[in-house]
Amino acid sequence: MKKILLTVLLASTPFVSYADISINLDIETPSGTAYHQTVAVAPCSVTNDPATTTTSAKCALEQAGANPQWTNYGGDDWFLTEASGASQDFAQNLYWGWWSDMEYGQTALNKHDLHDGETLLVALGVFPLRITVPTATIGATTTLTVEEFGFDQSYNGIWSPSASSTITINDIVGETDASGHFDFMATSTEPVVVSVSKTNFVATSQTFTPQIAQAPAPSTPSGWGGGGGGVSAPVIQKQFNMSAALSYLTGKQHPDGSFGAPLLSDWAAIAFSSQEDSTAKTKLREYLRASTLEMATVTDHERRAMALMTLGINPQTGTQENQIAAIAVAFDGTQIGDPSRINDDIFAILPLLHSGYNASDPIVTKTTTFIVSKQSLNGSWNDSVDLTAAAIQALAPLQTISSEHDAIIKAVSYLHAQQKSDGGLGNSFSTSWALQTIAALDESLSNWQPSASSPQDYLASVQQSDGGIEPMNASIDTRIWATAYAIPAMLGKTWDRLLPVWTASTTSLTATTSPIIATSTLAIATSTPPDASTIPTIATTTSSIDISTSTPVIEKPARKHIPRIVAKTVTAATSSERIHPQIAGVANTLSPTILISVWHAVTSFFSRIF
């Protein structure tokens, strides 16, 4: 029965009506969460006088079954001393505090009247964290702010920047800087979950949905005005300047050969691999050969394996970390990595196929079956252009298998439905991956020209005068990322064709111009996750690599780790999983975040997905 407390003066006699209200109650203690549920609260006694009732925080604790104990120090204030079996102990600095919608409570709990939908936090000896998320736009760096509650010298409750808090965006993990900030890049419109934790503080999370940036309206060429006769002005297509794009990318390279975040360095490597050797390419090759991945997820290893291979570095023996082993040990007998995500499965296929595994190996057959099983009825994966385009690239070498072939046909139909009249598929990131998909299927661009413009025309239209992709007022990281995607796409070079192939019988990585599925003697157990005992040693001409010695190094990431929601999170990527498909890449955006991911980053995937 609905009851709302209503008091009116009528002949000096209060008239009271009631209505239950619903709140979110969270009770935290040093040992963890004691209660975290939505509870309906009915009015109860404010003090010991049953005639005086209100819907207070005291009522919530009592009606939630927290077995609260109260102390009265005089007057009508009742202070909490025990709840859910946890007692305050001033000698141990353990005392109860409470927050209403993250506002610190400065009265006794029986004096706080609740409102419908309120979040009431009652905590013993621990303080809360809170997250501020500005409006996030796909492809742009979003700075998240984390604050922690505490007291100043005058014992006033204050919120201050929370440095060194652990922040997780989808599957991307990082740490806030001294200002409590963390940069994330979303790569898709998939909801992004941000979680924050820190020792002696109450962990919190928040979900937000990135927005699609509004593309500027195309300008009308001079000499063509509007109006008159109903005759459309001719379309004047802009040409893509490849040398300018490469120059832009080279100009953003750091002295150590990197491009900043691992995500950006890896994608730049894939871009440079499509060109002849250069000083920038050599510097990046040496940087990747010597560097290791920090706080790496399986999508990080997938993206890094692709980057290494495109530069002619064996991903199993060419660096301190065996990237292929890190992918293989994430196989649980059905799929790779997180069962709730698909980007880590999609971005595993090509590195595996180019590192000694073939289409009949269980890790490949089981994972591709899992990928196909996650395809939506509309032909997409996660309603993401990025993720769908990435999935097609991964499945294309296997499309002789009927299920994979049928999945690709449905996926292509989905991509056609997403193409806009300007030739693009939503943004430069998604359009680049779609272009590579078109090349992977050997389709004619004439099939992808719904009006006068093709995907190539769209990418040319968003190239700026300095050679970079995306508007000049976008962040440098965003433009590096977008430009690195566009270069191989405009050359019609797919990931499969850029990756050399390595097997136990070869002495070096050999570039291929068509998909190659190498014969392999590797065997992966199908009933249990692979480990050192189930993955045999892979012999090379110079050494023997034991999977048990190739455990990825996991360290605390540096500030401003950007996911692929590739993670394209987030997220392995621009599309949905780049703090997602492109976090893997960042590897559902990411994906591609930070994140995002934090390029999806987050995240979905390769941080843009990847």
Given this model, what pLDDT does residue 213 score?
61
Residue 253 has pLDDT above 70, yes or no: yes
Query: Residue 120 belongs to a domain with what CATH number?
Result: 2.170.130.30
Given this model, what pLDDT does residue 285 score?
94
75: left (phi over 0), alpha (psi -120 to 50) or beta: left
Q: Read off φ and ψ for residue 15, nearest 5 degrees.
A: -110, 125
350: cis peptide before it, omega within 30°?
Answer: no
Residue 596 lies in a domain: no
Dihedral angle sign, alpha carbons of residues 582, 520, 501, 398: negative
Given this model, what pLDDT does residue 72 score?
82
Residue 490 lies in a domain: no
CA distance 578 to 210: 12
Task: Report pLDDT digits (tens) over 165-181.
Answer: 999 887 678 888 888 88
Are 437 and 405 in contact by the 8 Å Cβ rule? The answer is no
Given this model, what pLDDT does residue 191 score?
83
Are 129 and 203 in contact by the 8 Å Cβ rule? The answer is yes
Mean pLDDT confidence for 182-211: 85
Q: How many domains does the chain have?
A: 1
Are 569 and 561 in contact by the 8 Å Cβ rule? The answer is no
Residue 96 lies in a domain: yes
Residue 411 lies in a domain: no
Mean pLDDT confidence for 327-338: 95
Task: Report pLDDT digits (tens) over 530-549.
Answer: 333 333 333 332 222 222 22
Given this model, what pLDDT does residue 152 score?
78
Mean pLDDT confidence for 183-206: 85
Residue 73 lies in a domain: yes
DSSP letters of 318-345?
A: SSSS-HHHHHHTTB-SS-BS-TT-SHHH
Are 167 and 156 in contact by the 8 Å Cβ rule? The answer is no
DSSP letters of 428-440?
A: HHHHHHHHHHHHH
Residue 304 has pLDDT above 70, yes or no: yes
CA distance 577 to 570: 7
Q: What is the mean pLDDT of the chain?
A: 75
Residue ranges making up the domain that contains 32: 6-125
Give the list of residues 6+ apart from residue 606 with CB closer than 8 angstroms, or none: 263, 267, 299, 302, 303, 343, 347, 564, 566, 567, 568, 571, 572, 573, 578, 580, 581, 582, 583, 584, 585, 586, 587, 590, 591, 592
Are 252 and 280 in contact by the 8 Å Cβ rule? The answer is no
Are 606 and 600 in contact by the 8 Å Cβ rule? The answer is no
Residue 478 lies in a domain: no
Above pLDDT 70, what percent of the chain?
Answer: 73
CA distance 306 to 316: 11
Given this model, what pLDDT does residue 19 score?
52
96-100 and 103-104: which strand pairing?
A: antiparallel
Residue 114 lies in a domain: yes
Quote the pTM value.
0.52
Task: Report pLDDT digits (tens) over 454-494.
Answer: 999 999 999 999 999 999 888 889 999 999 999 999 999 99
Residue 284 lies in a domain: no
CA distance 251 to 254: 9
Are 138 and 607 in contact by the 8 Å Cβ rule? The answer is no
Residue 522 has pLDDT above 50, yes or no: no
What number of other Cβ atoms are within 10 A of residue 31's Cβ? 12
Burial 194-233 (b: 16+ CB within 10 A, else e): bbbebeebbbbeeebebeebebeeeeeeeeeeeeeeeeee
